[in-house]
Structure 1
């Protein structure tokens, strides 16, 4: 996570994991959000509760350029405006019905969500391509310990046991978990990608073993 005195950026997902017309839950320092991509390909991030009855919008669906609640079908635009209330088709929803939204940017195959008012944009990861994401049942500090490194603004540079240099973006989750985004040099071969994927699985197991050891002691 990149932070400054005015706000922060969190790498919530990889672009490839959010196809057009889908919505998924994601976690930021401010809490859970609904992350969605419209049919035209634009990404949005909003509060994960419908103002109507509090249903999670990440359980909803995308229709065109709007996100709809699965409960009563209330629909919202990328800017949080309520677009439609199916039970009252002739009603123009009042402006007071709005979703809280967060700034979102997509670059280098990563989707970043801003908290607060970051002065600068998210880090650029030029020369790197996302490989995969995985969740470790271990705190972020233990993932860093397993990788023998410390995450900075541009992630953690991990020198894996197989000799590869791999970039990791670490995002703390609920219940002591960590979301790990794995990135490689863009010129990496298929064999290198497979090896890095396997190495990241090993890293996850190492971090989880450290967490289990801490709970047992």
Structure 2
């Protein structure tokens, strides 16, 4: 996606990479968030700092429908309100104790997180199946140069010379990094999936080499 993340949906992870009852760090541009999935399968996104002592919530754990801080166990709902404080089991936490949250949409095998107030839904990726994700130490511009093609308005890139149906969904991670999601025609066979994965790795290395060359004085 474009580097300006204001009022945009960002494809932060593959759905398959976020099993139930797990939490993982993800990024929206330069900002790290805690991406988690409840026991019932609902994906949620929270700011990555517990209001109590500032511990990263992405280091925490999921129990039931709540995300708990690993430090003192403060529990937060998907909406961001504090559900409980283990040191004070009889206390109903005040509404002022909250973590910031982000809108989440899960579709077409991706978890999309919105920053700001997106005015529309994430783009549909019909006919495409997510294969894997790679982080490249290269900007979107370097990846485009390596691919010999440009991203479209939805952040999709179809590299020159790639097999039919192979494309990349790019998400700017700031600090010169880009998250590359590899997509393939949903009818692709095993050998085509392996070839697509190798193609993406080669493209990443080419983009990173171009990024290094561009950084030289």
Which category describes the TM-score, using the shorter chain as reference length? over 0.9
Pair 1:150–1:140, CA change in 2 (3 A): same
- The unaligned stretches of length 5 or more in structure 1 are none
| Alignment TM-score, normalising by the size of structure 1 | 0.94
TM-score by length of 2: 0.94
Matched residue, 1:85 = 85
Match of 1:63 in 2: 63
Q: Secondary structure at the match of 2:161?
A: coil
The question of whether the paired residues in 2 share the 8 Å contact of 1:75 and 1:82 is answered with: yes
Deviations 1:85-115 (A, max 9, x none): 0010110000100111110000000010111
The 2-side partners of 1:163 and 1:12 are apart by: 25
Shift in Å at residue 136 of structure 1?
0.7
Give the RMSD, CA atoms, in angstroms: 1.9
Aligned to 2:182: 182
Q: Which residue of 1 aligns with 2:73?
A: 73
Q: Is the 8 A contact 1:29 1:115 kept in 2?
A: no
Equivalent runs, 1:1-217 vs 2, <5 Å: 1=1, 7-29=7-29, 31-161=31-161, 163-217=163-217
Tell me the distance in 2 between the aligned counterparts of 1:131 and 1:176: 23
Stretches of 4+ moved more than 3 A in 1?
159-165
Structure 1 residue 162 displacement after superposition: 5.1
Q: Cα 1:175–1:29, aligned 2, differ >3 Å: closer, same or farther?
A: closer
1:165–1:128 distance in 2 versus 1, CA, 3 Å = closer
1:50 & 1:34 partners in 2: Cα distance?
Answer: 10
Q: Secondary structure at the match of 2:207?
A: helix
Separation in 1 of the partners of 2:139 and 2:198? 20
Deviation of 1:161 (Å): 3.2
How far did residue 215 of structure 1 move?
Answer: 2.4
Q: How many residues align?
A: 217
In structure 1, the residue corresponding to 2:175 is in which secondary structure?
helix
In 2, Cα distance between equivalents of 1:187 and 1:160: 21
Which runs of no fewer than 5 residues in structure 2 stay unpaired?
A: none
